[in-house]
Structure 1
Amino acid sequence: MKDKITEHSIRLFEKQGFSETSIQDIVDSLGVTKGTFYYYFSSKEELLMDIHLGYINGLLNQQEKILNDKATSSREKLNDIVTMLITDIKTKGSAAKIFFTEMKNLSEERIELIKSKRDQFRFNLEELLNQGVKNGEFRSDLKTAIVTFGILGVANWSYFWFNPAGNVSDREVAEIFVEMILQGIQTTLIVNK
């Protein structure tokens, strides 16, 4: 039931906004009582925090698996991370939108926890770029901190416009993004024939 409450809440928050969605709206959408809600969550803010943690912890876990693969190059890892962010839209696009738009409704303490996890994702990506510079895969003059923000901006904004059921697949979007990024940072350009 906790997962159902979360799923329905994500849909309602995406459609109506966090502030405009009441606990009564959530339980009505499920056909349960407020008691059911309060069995799993002490407040609507706790539910929002649970959504945020589920989203960012999932990304960090996937990123860690990619980064720990010793058999892949920095370029391949970058490709895998961007692909993961784009393909994730199919299953977690609504949660991502909530993550990016509703953080303001969390307490300062909770916001700081989410920001620290979000920053860890960014630092991990920046370190990957630094490693690619060190091993000669990426340009030596690369401003890795700025490029990291650029990559995350491109990937994260796609949650607001990309339609996984549209004419271009998630894999195709990821390939376009990775090609665009790599053409700007790798030491030698790859020319597609």
Structure 2
Amino acid sequence: MKEKIIETSIELFDRKGFKETSVQEIVEAIGVTKGAFYYYFKSKEELLKDICISYIEDLLEQQQRILQDSEKSCTEKLHEIVYMLIRNIKARRKSARIFFREMRHLHEDHLQEIKAKRRAFRQHYQQLIEAGIARGEFKPTLTPDMITFGILGITNWSYYWFQPDGEISEEALTDIYVDLILNGIKNRESLKEK
């Protein structure tokens, strides 16, 4: 039942927005009472927090799997993380939109919990950029935190406009983004050595 409440809420929050969706609408859509809702969630906000936490924790887990692969270069890991983010926009489009659009409705304590996880995701990404610089894969003159924010800006806003069933696949979009990123940060000297 908890999963059904979450799934239905994701649909309604995506379509109508968090503020405009009532608990009554959620339970009516499922065909249960408010008591069933409040058995699993203290409030509509707690439900929103759970949706956002689930989304970012899933991204963190996938990111960690990619980063822990010692066989791959920093460039390959960068490509895989960009692809993972784009693929998640396709697979969890509504959750992504809720994460980016509706998180602002959370109380400060819930918001801080999510921001801490989002910050961890960004810091892991930044460490990848720093490792790429240290290994000579990326230009030594880069400012890793600004590059990281830029990459996240490019990928995160894709939820807003990217049409997974459109003319560009998530693989093609990943290649476009990574080409754009690497041609700006790839160490030209390392290319000459190979």
Q: TM-score, normalised by structure 2?
A: 0.95
Match of 2:52 in 1: 52
**Any residues of structure 2 matched to 1:145-160 within 5 Å, and which?**
145-160=145-160
Tell me the CA shift for residue 39 of structure 1. 1.5
Q: State the identity %.
A: 51
What amino acid sits opposite 1:111 in the alignment? L
Name the counterpart of 1:164.
164
Q: Superposition pairs for residues 1-193 of structure 1, below 5 Å?
A: 1-188=1-188
Which runs of 5 or more structure 1 residues have no equivalent in the other structure?
A: none
- CA shift digits 1:69-116 (9 cap, x unpaired): 000000000000000000111221111111111112111111111111
Shift of 1:188: 2.2
Aligned length in residues: 190
1:117 shift after superposition? 0.5
**How far did 1:33 drift?**
1.3
* 1:147-168 Cα shifts (integer Å, max 9, x gaps): 1001000000000000111111
Question: How far apart, in 1, do the equivalents of 2:91 and 2:9 lie?
Answer: 15
Distance 2:122 2:132 in 1: 15
Which deviations, in whole Å up to 9, do the C-alpha atoms of 1:30-77 show, x marking residues without a partner?
Answer: 111111111211110110010011000000000000000000000000
**1:7-48 CA-partner distances (Å, limit 9, x unpaired):** 111111111110110001111111111111112111101100
Letter in 1 for 2:141: D
TM, length-normalised to structure 1: 0.96
Structure 1 CA distance for aligned equivalents of residues 46 and 158 of structure 2? 27
